[in-house]
Structure 1
Amino acid sequence: MSEIHGKCEPRFRAVRDAFERNFDEGRELGASVAVYQRGRAVVDLWGGTATVQDGVAEWRQDTIALLASATKGLVAAAAMLLVDRGLLDLDAPVADYWPQFAAEGKATIPLRWVLGHRSGVVAVDPPLTMTDIEQGTPVTDALAAARPAWPPGRAHGYHCLTMGWLVGEVIRRVTGHSTGQFFAKEIAAPLGLDLHIGLPDRKVPQLADLVPPTGQQLLHGRGDPELEGLNQAICDPASLFHRSTFGSMALMANLLTGVHTHQAEIPSCGGAGNAAGLAKLYAALIGEVDGIRLLCPETADRARTVEANGMDLVLRCHTSYGRGFMLPGGPMWPGTCSATAFGHAGVTGAFAFADPDNDLGFAYVPNRMSELIDGGHDRVRPLIEATHRCAGT
């Protein structure tokens, strides 16, 4: 039997049981799961193995892991905080904040189309290098010069890498701070969150090793018939999926394991943190936590307003997006959820969301990567379902 650490209120015992089963049935390596309800932590659990490269070490309370695309939720939170403060307008053209972005027919693209994956700006050519990313300016120049892959607003497709950089440049031009700096100062510090877009040197020793799934696990995870189109796109160098991932980032295969990745600010996929921090963040988006509420109710409602829904031109499956957040619906969202939920998944297996109907903030952060392009579905689904069963008792 696996040793699980942390706290869990008796009412949420089913979440602990589901977490333990993930380990006992061999699906998990190391992970943390956390739940807030009505602004209070009711689950904060962790267990398993954090490091495997230099001797086995246990997952501890302060262990953090890479979040991959769950980082987009942090970026969306930062953007919506600026909307709440009246410093960003979702309907304003991105070019109003960033004039160079108007090139190649992009002058009228509103910010909400970028947040909702409707802008068409999903790829850059030639592909960016890690040096480009660390310097910053080559990235913004490439995005300003990019041509949309479809007429903006006419369709939607997952902005795998570009969403964070596009929104991040708008944040920088409005605040004078990078996305990581703004998030650290205005969100993470006030709430005491161990969440980072650009990991400080002092935090590197806390970082868990990232372990990819086996080929058999990948085949199992992608066996859903709804993912047939995605599976074909992954293998097709001419697909929008390839162009927006491997074709837009040199050495893409090393992106999440490269020595600089977690310390560079890659706002679409380079964040790091733990479940306790993520759950608290999402709880603070919809209610008061430790005396802090990030968004007023009206802005939180705008964050989860459907911006795009239906066939995704990049992932080639059904997806639904609000303003920077994933919404329930389609194979990328595991399990059943309240219709008001909004959150984000990551290829590392991380998944987090807010559920206003049940006043919940939920997060799961593992270090064995997902069997899918986003979210560790086989492991997180029973945790989500247990959370919802317990929330109403």
Structure 2
Amino acid sequence: MTDIKGICEPRFDAVREALAMVLGKDDVGASAAVCLDGEQVVDLWGGYADADRSVRWERDTLVGVNSTTKNMTALCALILADRGELDLSAPVAAYWPEFAAAGKENVLVRHVLSHTAGLPDLAGLTAVEKLYDWEGVTAGLAAQAPAWEPGTAAGYHALTFGFLVGEIVRRLTGRSLGEFFAEEVAEPLGADFHIGLSSEHDHRVAPLIPPPSLTDEYAASAPPGPDGTRRENTGAAIRVRDANSTAWRRAQIPAVSGFGNARSVALVQSVLANRGSAGGVRLLSPRGCEPAWQEVFRGDDRVLGTPMSWTAGFGRFGSTFGWGGWGGSLVVSDPGSRMTVAYVMNQMIDRDRQEDNRGMEIVMAAYDGLR
């Protein structure tokens, strides 16, 4: 049996067992967490932080969570909306005038958040290094015509989501998305999650491990949705070695470049599941949380190739909402139960080659604790 460390209320022992099972089978190192009513009831970790299994996964180990970062970025927009500084029904150009170019004057903030803005890719973005040029990427998006009439169709904005939301936040606040998140979310909550990781934390990072039999040249297309579907990539191919690079850690790519652990992911997202507060800290009003689970679009997603329900920033799945990241990380929130469950790991799985139910096994084990 894999050695699991951390805290776990007895009624959630199934989560400990599920984590031990995935660590004994597919995982190298991982953490799992559950927040209920805004309080941490499960905070577990185990395994190793390196492929050689020579460095233990510790309480403060961090890992890149890829598209699980989108949940954090969306929360920043909802906080500003709750404060009355951002209108989700307003044109993006009301905050970012240049964005009105090329027929985008009617693109609304909610279109950007719900992957219906028609900008799933940035034309000409063929090298990962170009993602590190914030002004270049956002200027390109402002100049680009939408691929479809905004609001009429959805197509997962795998990388552009973070630049679009992030530039709206920057125009409103004068701060980058990473700075806003650090000051307005992570610091008040005491959450160990970072968008733009400083060098002082490098020693805590567990590098991502490519899927079995693959190398660090393994590349993402569109990071997969929870059912694993994705299309061929039309822009920069992000490889595991890119996601493990120092440049990637320092960059702010708010759709995909967040670093954290299950404890921090669950804590931050539990704010939305718990009507605006967690750990005694209120970030937004109960009503301000509702866009996280109110459907904006339902239908086939042109990028993921699967039926999707999109809210203002999240995928909706029945009575729950959230999203996962390339390789396997996942966060799911249930506002009816006021529960949030998170799972992060370093061993990636390629869903084209192998089924990956690790995150959902953690989620289902958490529901056992509610029964």
**2:281 partner SS:** coil
Query: 1: CA distance between counterparts of 2:261 and 2:269?
Result: 13
Maintained 8 Å contact 2:332/2:363:
no
Query: 2: CA distance between counterparts of 1:283 and 1:386?
Result: 17
2:139 is aligned to 141
Query: How many residues were matched structurally?
Result: 357
| Residue among 353, 358, 365 paired with 2:337 | 358
Query: 2: CA distance between counterparts of 1:17 and 1:179?
Result: 37
> Cα 1:78–1:5, aligned 2, differ >3 Å: closer, same or farther?
same
| Residue among 290, 296, 306 paired with 1:307 | 296
> Cα 1:377–1:322, aligned 2, differ >3 Å: closer, same or farther?
farther
Maintained 8 Å contact 1:116/1:308:
yes
Q: TM-score with structure 1 length normalisation?
A: 0.86
Maintained 8 Å contact 1:158/1:313:
yes
Maintained 8 Å contact 1:127/1:250:
no
* Letter of the 2:254 counterpart: P
Confirm whether residue 12 of structure 1 aligns to residue 7 of structure 2: no
Maintained 8 Å contact 2:38/2:279:
yes
Maintained 8 Å contact 2:34/2:42:
yes
Query: 1: CA distance between counterparts of 2:137 and 2:333?
Result: 31
* Letter of the 2:7 counterpart: K
1:368 is aligned to 347
| Residue among 256, 281, 290 paired with 1:292 | 281
Maintained 8 Å contact 1:116/1:321:
yes
| Residue among 286, 308, 329 paired with 1:319 | 308
Maintained 8 Å contact 1:66/1:348:
no
1:112 is aligned to 110
Once the two structures are superposed, residues 56-113 of structure 1 have per-residue CA deviations (whole angstroms, 9 ceiling, x without a partner) of: 2010000010010000001001000000111100000001111111111111100000
Maintained 8 Å contact 1:304/1:341:
yes
* Letter of the 2:299 counterpart: G
> Cα 1:259–1:186, aligned 2, differ >3 Å: closer, same or farther?
same
1:41 is aligned to 40
Q: Which moved more, 1:303-312 or 1:6-15?
A: 303-312
* Letter of the 1:342 counterpart: F
1:95 is aligned to 93
Maintained 8 Å contact 1:95/1:101:
yes
2:73 is aligned to 75
Confirm whether residue 167 of structure 1 aligns to residue 165 of structure 2: yes
1:278 is aligned to 265
> Cα 1:110–1:206, aligned 2, differ >3 Å: closer, same or farther?
same
Query: 2: CA distance between counterparts of 1:312 and 1:7?
Result: 39
1:336 is aligned to none
Maintained 8 Å contact 2:132/2:253:
no
2:323 is aligned to 344
* Letter of the 1:270 counterpart: S
* Letter of the 2:281 counterpart: I
Question: Percent identity over the alignment?
Answer: 39
2:223 is aligned to none
1:204-283 paired onto structure 2 within 5 Å:
204-214=202-212, 230=229, 233-234=231-232, 242-243=233-234, 247=235, 249=236, 254-283=241-270
**1:122 partner SS:** coil
* Letter of the 1:316 counterpart: G
Query: 2: CA distance between counterparts of 1:252 and 1:146?
Result: 26
1:333 is aligned to none
Q: Which moved more, 1:311-320 or 1:166-175?
A: 311-320
> Cα 1:314–1:215, aligned 2, differ >3 Å: closer, same or farther?
farther
Q: Which moved more, 1:284-293 or 1:114-123?
A: 284-293
Once the two structures are superposed, residues 256-289 of structure 1 have per-residue CA deviations (whole angstroms, 9 ceiling, x without a partner) of: 2333112100111000000001111111223232
1:59 is aligned to 57
**1:354 partner SS:** strand
Instruction: After TM superposition, give the deviation of residue 366 of structure 1 in Å.
Output: 0.5
Instruction: After TM superposition, give the deviation of residue 153 of structure 1 in Å.
Output: 1.3
Maintained 8 Å contact 2:113/2:312:
yes
1:388 is aligned to 367
Maintained 8 Å contact 1:94/1:109:
yes
> Cα 1:47–1:252, aligned 2, differ >3 Å: closer, same or farther?
closer
Q: TM-score with structure 2 length normalisation?
A: 0.91
Maintained 8 Å contact 1:128/1:139:
no
Query: 2: CA distance between counterparts of 1:379 and 1:286?
Result: 22
Maintained 8 Å contact 1:286/1:297:
no
* Letter of the 1:12 counterpart: F
* Letter of the 2:12 counterpart: F
> Cα 1:179–1:265, aligned 2, differ >3 Å: closer, same or farther?
same
Query: 2: CA distance between counterparts of 1:17 and 1:209?
Result: 25
Query: 2: CA distance between counterparts of 1:146 and 1:252?
Result: 26
Give ranges in structure 1 of 5+ residues lacking alignment: 219-225, 235-241, 329-338
Query: 1: CA distance between counterparts of 2:184 and 2:114?
Result: 23
> Cα 1:60–1:171, aligned 2, differ >3 Å: closer, same or farther?
same
Maintained 8 Å contact 2:166/2:254:
yes
Instruction: After TM superposition, give the deviation of residue 200 of structure 1 in Å.
Output: 1.1
Instruction: After TM superposition, give the deviation of residue 250 of structure 1 in Å.
Output: 6.3
Q: RMSD across aligned C-alpha pairs, in angstroms?
A: 2.1
The structure 1 segments of at least 4 consecutive aligned residues displaced by more than 6 Å after TM superposition are none
Maintained 8 Å contact 1:281/1:361:
no
Query: 1: CA distance between counterparts of 2:104 and 2:46?
Result: 47
